[in-house]
Amino acid sequence: MLISRFRDLGISCIGLMTLIEFFTGFSSLDALVTGLHYAIGSVALLLLSALSNAIVVLGNDSKEQCSHKPKLDPRPHSVSIVEFGAVGDGKTLNTGAFQNAIFYLNSFADKGGAQLYVPPGKWLTGSFNLTSHLTLFLEKDAIILGSQNPDHWGVTDPLPSYGRGIDVPGSRYRSLINGYNLSDVVITGNDGTIDGQGSYWWDSFLTHTLNHSRPNLVEIVESVGVVVSNLTFLNAPAYTIHPVYCSHVLVQNISAYSPPSSPYTIGIVPDSSDHMCIENCNISMGYDAITLKSGWDEHGIKYNRPTTCVHIKQVNLQASTGSAVAFGSEMSGGISHVLAEHLDIKNSFTGIVFRTAPGRGGYIKNIEVSSVEMENIHTAFIASGQYESHPDEEYDPSALPILEQITINNVVGVNITVAGSFTGIENTPFEFTLSEISL
C-alpha cells in the first residue's frame, strides 16, 4: 500500500522541486527515493512536504544552546587520587580510592567546589559516584580503566521512564562514573582517557549471559549543570555518555570510540534532558553515534519528560551498524526543538534515522538537520514506525507517536547506496521537509 505521492510543484527558484507527502500505512518509499537517486545523479534533489508552509520555528532556542557557555572557574581545592592510596599500575583496583576521595571532596561543595586530579597512569576501578561542585580532571596519559569483573560495578534499579533494563528485563548494572541529583559537575582533562574495556560486556550480551542490562560508561541522572569535555572515551559497555533527566549539559571537544563489532554501543545519548549542547566531537561507534531518547512506551509516557532544546554542531560521526544521528526508538516522553548542523558523517550504515512504533506515544517535532556531508553510507535517511520492541505487555498499541515539523536541508553525499527509506504508521502522518539534498 503505497500512499505517498510525488508531485512536481514547478517552483522555479532552484531546479527540480518535488512534493512528497508521507501519509501512513506501511508505505515504503525506499524504491521511490532510491530510484530518484539514480535518476538524478548529481543534480540537487529538492523535496518539500505538504506542510512546508509551516515554517519551522525552532522556538526555545535550540540554536542558542551552544552559545551560552558555563564559566569554568578553577576549583579552589584540588586533591590527587594518589593521596587516597590509588595505584596507577593498571592492576590495582582503585574503586575505594575514588569513592573516598569524592566523599572527602564533598565537604568542599559549599566552599566553591573541588577538583579530583588523576595523574598519568592506568587507574583500574569499579563504579563510583560523583558529587556536586566537583571537577574530575584527567591529565594527559591518565587512563581510567573500567574493571572487567561485573561484581565491581554493582546493580541499580531501572530508570522509571524505561521500567526495565534495555538489554534484559529487570535491573541494570551501575555505570562506571555516576552522578545522581547533582549540580555543577565537570568531567574534563588534558586529553585523558576513560576506557570501559567493554569486551567482557559485549561478549556477555552476544552470548545471552547477562544477568542485568549492561552498564554505561558515564551516566548523570537528574542533574543540572554538567560539562564533559577535552577527553577520550573508549570501549563503552553500552552507552558512552548518558545524561538522563538533566538540564544544561555541555559535551564539548571529546572523542568517543567503540569498535565496529561492539553490539549496540552508542556515543552520546541525551535522554529526557533539556538545554544541551554537543559540539566539536569525534564519535565512532558500533551502533549509533548520537541518539536522542525520552523513555519507553507506557513508562516514558507516564514519566513524561521530553528531550528538548538540543544543539548539535561540528561533529564527525561514524556508526557501523546503526545511525550517525538517531531519534528514538524510545521517544515516549517526546523529543523537540533539536538543531543538528555541520555534521560530517562517514562509513556508516545510516546517516539520520527516526525510529518509533505504535505504543510509544510521544512525539518527535521541531527538528532541523542541516549542513550535512555524508560519505560511504548505506542509507542516508530512514524514518520507520516499526521498531516493535516493547518493555513488557502493558504498552498501549493505540498510543501513536507524532512526527511533525522535521526539516532536513543542505545535505551532500558521496557513495550513498540508498537515499532514503520512509515507513509510516497507519493513522498518524509523518511530516518531513527535505530540501537541497544532493546524494
Ligand X SMILES: *[C@@H]1O[C@H](CO)[C@@H](O)[C@H](O)[C@H]1NC(C)=O
Give the residue, chosen from 63, 302, 342, 378, that forms a contact with ligand X under the rule CB under 6 A: 378
Asked if 428 interacts with ligand X (CB under 6 A), we say no
Find the binding residues for ligand X in span 222-251 (CB under 6 A): 227, 229-230
Choice between 190 and 427, CB closer to ligand X? 190
Distance CA 6, CA 26 (A): 17
The residue range among 77-85, 185-193, 291-299, 353-361 that interacts with ligand X, by the rule CB under 6 A, is: 185-193
Do residues 146 and 186 lie in contact, with contact meaning Cβ atoms separated by under 8 Å? no
Is 54 one of the binding residues for ligand X (CB under 6 A)? no
Give the torsion through C-alpha atoms of 324, 68, 434, 55, to 10 deg: 160
Report DSSP state, residue 167: S
Any contact of residue 206 with ligand X (CB under 6 A)?
A: no
Q: How far is the CB of 58 from ligand X (least distance, A)?
A: 9
The least CB distance from residue 415 to ligand X, in Å, is 4
Out of 107, 389, 415, 427, point to the residue binding ligand X (CB under 6 A): 415
Kindly state the cell numbers that stand for 63: 540554536
Q: Minimal distance in Å, beta carbon 269 to ligand X? A: 18
Closer CB to ligand X, 317 or 357, in the complex: 317
Query: Residues in the chain, how many?
Result: 439
Q: Rule CB under 6 A: say whether 200 interacts with ligand X.
A: no
Residue 329, preceding peptide bond in cis (omega within 30° of 0): yes
In order, the DSSP letters of 28-97 are: B-HHHHHHHHHHHTTS-EEEEETTTTS----GGGGGGTTTSPPP-PPPSEEEEGGGGT---EEEEE-HHH
Binding mask of the shown chain, residues 248 to 267, with x at each position contacting ligand X by CB under 6 A: ----xxxx------------
The minimum distance between CB 145 and ligand X, in angstroms, equals 18
Judged by CB under 6 A, does residue 150 bind ligand X? yes
Based on the shown chain and the rule CB under 6 A, indicate whether residue 302 belongs to the binding site for ligand X. Answer: no
Nearer to ligand X, 214 or 299 (CB): 214
Contact set for ligand X, span 282-301 (CB under 6 A): 282
C-beta atoms surrounding 370 within 10 Å: 17
Nearer to ligand X, 326 or 380 (CB): 380
Could you give the string, one character per residue 327-366, with x where binding to ligand X holds by CB under 6 A and - elsewhere? ----------------------------------------
Q: Return the SS3 of 434.
A: strand
- Range 149-155 contact pairs with CB under 8 angstroms and sequence separation of 24 or more: 150/200, 150/204, 150/211, 151/126, 152/93, 152/95, 152/125, 152/126, 152/127, 153/126, 153/127, 153/215, 154/126, 154/127, 155/212
CB 437 within 8 A of CB 36: no
Spatial distance between the Cα atoms of 391 and 394, rounded to a whole number of angstroms: 8
Compute the least distance from the CB of residue 181 to ligand X, in Å: 4
Return the range that interacts with ligand X (CB under 6 A); candidates 44-52, 183-191, 262-270, 391-399: 183-191
The answer to whether the CB of 46 falls within 8 A of the CB of 19 is no
Residues that bind ligand X (CB under 6 A): 59-60, 72, 99, 129, 150, 178, 180-181, 188, 190-191, 211, 227, 229-230, 252-255, 280-282, 316, 376-378, 415, 417
